[in-house]
């Protein structure tokens, strides 16, 4: 969710009027950083449970290098999208369209798509877009409900009046997002809470771009935590034979990796802010 073009960062940028380009750039290094922690989580889990990750067949380096030729088109699409985004040839919104067209051309070149497959992809895109629009509509209705009850404002005032250092306020906000992500969809939660917590972050002197990365990381935790772990339900929908409880349990090492990685980015904000400061 950190890798551009990130929908969560896009929504955050619109709500806070921050540079979308700077937000996308800020997610690159943390994305590799969190991926490294995921790798460590897998290695540690397989070290404790070696039967879950037995050693695979070894291949000579020549065969490994030749196998990389199959990733040429994928790397080309990535280079076109990211290169055009960083050089300013097209906007972040246009980057998504350019990437989609590039993937379609690759599929046509490889003869891996049929007319029926193309129509099905359009149907899936339309269904996803409608789902997002309904989600936004629901978030607006829910936001009006919360505004009437003044619950978010009371929580914000309570957080702002606490006699805590800046890192304590940040930790409390992260806990609120983590708890809220267990019950509310990520985009809905962000749309409801960012207008409340963003002024607090700015008044504390924290970098808004850095806070956007933190929001995405906490959102990633929410999509794998019960009871509304959307990613877990998606996996369960694909692998019907695996119990939902087992999938939630299997996501725990990655949740721990996310918590550790997020804590380090909170402690060392330069992980998220160095690259956008260099480019902007």
pLDDT at 140 (0 to 100): 64
pLDDT at 201 (0 to 100): 86
How confident is the model over 27-32, as a mean pLDDT?
92
Extract the tokens encoding 243.
């119990």
More confident residue, 139 or 267: 267
Extract the tokens encoding 130.
């409608």
Q: Is the pTM of this model over 0.75?
A: no
pLDDT at 142 (0 to 100): 67
Q: Which residues of 188-204 are buried (b: 16+ CB within 10 A; e: fewer)?
A: bbbbbbbebbbebbeee
Question: Measured between alpha carbons, how far is 261 from 266 in angstroms, rounded to an integer?
Answer: 9
- How many Cβ atoms are within 10 Å of 156's Cβ, its own excluded? 18
Residue 25 counted as domain residue? yes
Is there a contact between 139 and 187 (Cβ–Cβ < 8 Å)? yes
What residues make up the domain containing 257?
7-52+70-279
Q: How confident is the model at residue 40 (pLDDT cuts 50, 70, 90)?
A: very high
| Residue 197 pLDDT greater than 80, yes or no | yes
Residue 229 counted as domain residue? yes
The set of residues, in sequence order, having a beta carbon less than 8 Å from that of 236 and lying 6+ positions away, is 242, 244, 247
Residue 61 counted as domain residue? no
What's the distance, Cα to Cα, between the start and end of the chain in Å? 22
Question: Measured between alpha carbons, how far is 183 from 214 in angstroms, rounded to an integer?
Answer: 19
pLDDT at 265 (0 to 100): 93
pLDDT at 39 (0 to 100): 95
pLDDT in tens, 41-99: 999 999 998 888 888 888 888 888 888 877 888 888 888 888 887 787 887 778 878 88
Question: Measured between alpha carbons, how far is 211 from 177 in angstroms, rounded to an integer?
Answer: 12
Instruction: Work out the mean pLDDT of the chain and round it to a whole number.
Output: 83
Place of tokens 């090492």: 253
- pLDDT above 70 coverage of the chain, percent: 91
Is there a contact between 223 and 186 (Cβ–Cβ < 8 Å)? yes
Q: Which residues of 8-19 are buried (b: 16+ CB within 10 A; e: fewer)?
A: bbbbbbeebebb
Q: What is the dihedral of CA 65, 67, 71, 73, to 10 degrees?
A: 100
Residue 58 counted as domain residue? no
More confident residue, 107 or 34: 34
How confident is the model over 199-210, as a mean pLDDT?
87
pLDDT at 268 (0 to 100): 92
Give the three-state DSSP class for 56.
Answer: coil
DSSP for residue 53: S
Residue 62 counted as domain residue? no
- pLDDT above 90 coverage of the chain, percent: 18
Using H for helix, E for strand and C for coil, what is the string for 230-253? HHHHHHHHHCCCCCHHHHHHHCHH
Question: Measured between alpha carbons, how far is 37 from 2 in angstroms, rounded to an integer?
Answer: 14
Question: Measured between alpha carbons, how far is 34 from 258 in angstroms, rounded to an integer?
Answer: 7
More confident residue, 147 or 13: 13
pLDDT in tens, 215-260: 999 888 887 887 767 777 777 766 778 888 888 888 899 999 999 9
pLDDT at 128 (0 to 100): 66
More confident residue, 135 or 172: 172
More confident residue, 133 or 260: 260
Number of structural domains in the chain: 1
Sign of torsion, CA 126 130 131 135?
positive
Is there a contact between 188 and 138 (Cβ–Cβ < 8 Å)? yes
Question: What angle, rounded to 10 degrees, do the helices at 28-48 and 208-222 form?
Answer: 30
Whole-Å CA distances, 225 to 97, 211, 219, 245: 32, 21, 10, 11
Residue 104 counted as domain residue? yes
Residue 64 counted as domain residue? no
How confident is the model over 143-160, as a mean pLDDT?
71
Residue 171 counted as domain residue? yes
């Amino acid at each position: 969710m950190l890798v551009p073009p990130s929908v969560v960062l896009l929504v955050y940028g619109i709500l806070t009027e921050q540079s979308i380009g700077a937000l996308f750039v800020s997610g690159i290094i943390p994305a590799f950083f969190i991926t490294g922690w995921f790798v460590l989580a897998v290695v540690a889990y397989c070290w404790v449970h070696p039967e879950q990750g037995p050693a695979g067949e070894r291949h000579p380096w020549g065969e490994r290098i030749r196998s990389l030729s199959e990733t040429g088109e994928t790397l080309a699409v990535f280079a076109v999208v990211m290169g055009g985004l960083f050089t300013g040839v097209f906007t972040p919104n246009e980057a998504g369209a350019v990437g989609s067209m590039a993937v379609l051309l690759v599929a046509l070149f490889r003869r891996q798509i049929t007319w029926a497959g193309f129509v099905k992809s359009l149907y899936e895109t339309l269904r996803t877009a409608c789902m997002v629009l309904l989600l936004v509509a629901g978030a607006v209705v829910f936001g009006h409900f919360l505004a009437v009850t003044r619950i978010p404002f009371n929580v914000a005032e309570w957080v702002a009046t606490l006699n805590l250092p800046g890192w304590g306020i940040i930790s409390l906000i992260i806990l609120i997002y983590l708890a809220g992500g267990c019950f509310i969809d990520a985009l809905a939660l962000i749309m409801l809470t960012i207008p409340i917590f963003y002024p607090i972050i700015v008044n504390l002197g924290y970098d808004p771009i850095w806070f956007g990365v933190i929001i995405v990381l906490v959102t990633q935790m929410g999509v794998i935590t019960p009871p509304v772990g959307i990613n877990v339900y998606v996996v369960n929908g694909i692998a019907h034979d695996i119990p939902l409880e087992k999938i939630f349990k299997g996501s725990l090492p990655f949740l721990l990796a996310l918590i550790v990685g997020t804590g380090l980015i909170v402690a060392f904000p330069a992980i998220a802010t160095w690259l956008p400061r260099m480019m902007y």
